[in-house]
């Protein structure tokens, strides 16, 4: 079976989300953010009762996820992400909205913290960018903080997490180049939430990789601020064969 990683398409959206990595001891679970996702550890593949499946946050999460995949301008195409294999709705601690579990190549959606469709869209987008990075590059989520920072910068940049309206809703008022400030800030927060390093160290790492990662717009070729950006980016992706053959 041939698979590629080019072509993760989603609407503009964003979320607070974390990136997990491989970690096995309890201390390492805390060190790498797994303690925020308690269901990742225990009997994670058990099936629930009918009641659980119909009347719980889990059901609502599944429904919203399906909607996010089907109805937005999302195209989960050549990355070959399958809903049942690569997505999981679980309860999480704190206010985290989702995460990417590199150990199982799975996107975790926090069913107890995502209650609106627009929020679901944002989290899915954000995590798909992590999944895309994991798929197309040798990302060392576990040991290389630069890699972690880079993926967080890209996810905050490209998912719409830092859109003007989302920032306004957080009472962050800024206009000129504020997008970059937001991306920096959210990447920093994401790193600090899952890794035990100092703020200064995290800031230094984000600064080191910012220029490179902020300008890496794969697979979109642009920062999709609006539905039209997303539409044009997808249009370009669909005609990539013609483009590459005639350039």
Partner 1 sequence: MEQSRILPWRPPRVCEDYWSEFRHCKSLLNKFHHYYTYGESPSCQQWSQDYKNCKQWESHKDLKAKEDLQQSERTRVAEQQQFTPVWKLRKEPPKDWHLPLNQEKSQEF
Using CB under 8 A as the criterion, which residues of the chain lie in contact with partner 1 when the complex forms?
1, 3-5, 24, 29, 41-42, 45, 80, 85, 103-106, 133-140, 144, 146-147, 150, 164, 175-180, 209, 211-213, 215-217, 221, 223, 225-226, 228-229, 232, 235-236, 239, 241-243, 245-247
Catalytic hit among 127, 201, 203, 238: 127
Task: Give residue 89's region: left, alpha or beta (phi > 0; psi -120 to 50).
Answer: beta
Give the dihedral sign, CA 108/120/164/170: negative
Q: Return the CA Rg of the chain.
A: 18
The token pair at 235 is: 């249009």
| 73 or 136: CB nearest partner 1 | 136
- Minimum Å gap between C-beta 207 and partner 1 is 13
Active site residue 22: no
| 60 or 178: CB nearest partner 1 | 178
Distance (Å) of CA 174 to CA 122, 159, 160, 177: 21, 19, 16, 8
- Minimum Å gap between C-beta 105 and partner 1 is 5
| 67 or 140: CB nearest partner 1 | 140
Round to whole Å and give the CA distance between 10 and 190.
21
Burial class (CB in 10 A: 0-12, 13-18, 19+), 35: middle
| 95 or 207: CB nearest partner 1 | 207
Task: Supply the residues annotated as catalytic.
Answer: 127
């Amino acid at each position: 079976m041939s698979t590629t990683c080019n072509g993760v398409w989603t609407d503009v959206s964003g979320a607070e989300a974390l990136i997990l990595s491989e970690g096995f001891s309890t201390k390492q679970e805390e060190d790498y953010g797994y303690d925020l996702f308690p269901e990742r550890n225990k009997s994670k593949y058990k099936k629930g009762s009918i009641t659980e499946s119909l009347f719980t946050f889990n059901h609502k999460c599944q429904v919203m996820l399906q909607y996010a995949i089907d109805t937005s301008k999302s195209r989960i195409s050549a990355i070959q992400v399958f809903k049942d294999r690569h997505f999981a709705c679980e309860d999480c601690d704190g206010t985290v909205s989702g995460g990417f579990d590199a150990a199982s190549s799975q996107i975790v959606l926090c069913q107890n913290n995502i209650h609106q469709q627009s929020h679901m869209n944002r989290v899915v987008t954000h995590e798909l960018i992590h999944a895309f990075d994991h798929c197309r590059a040798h990302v060392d989520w576990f040991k290389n903080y630069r890699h972690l920072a880079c993926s967080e910068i890209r996810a905050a940049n490209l998912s719409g997490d830092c859109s003007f309206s989302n920032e306004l809703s957080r009472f962050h008022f800024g206009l000129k180049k504020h997008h970059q400030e937001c991306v920096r800030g959210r990447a920093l927060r994401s790193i600090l939430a899952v890794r035990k390093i100092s703020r200064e160290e995290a800031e230094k790492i984000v600064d080191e990789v910012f220029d490179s990662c902020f300008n890496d717009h794969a697979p979109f070729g642009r920062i999709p601020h609006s539905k039209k950006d997303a539409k044009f980016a997808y249009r370009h992706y669909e005609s990539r064969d013609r483009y590459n053959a005639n350039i």
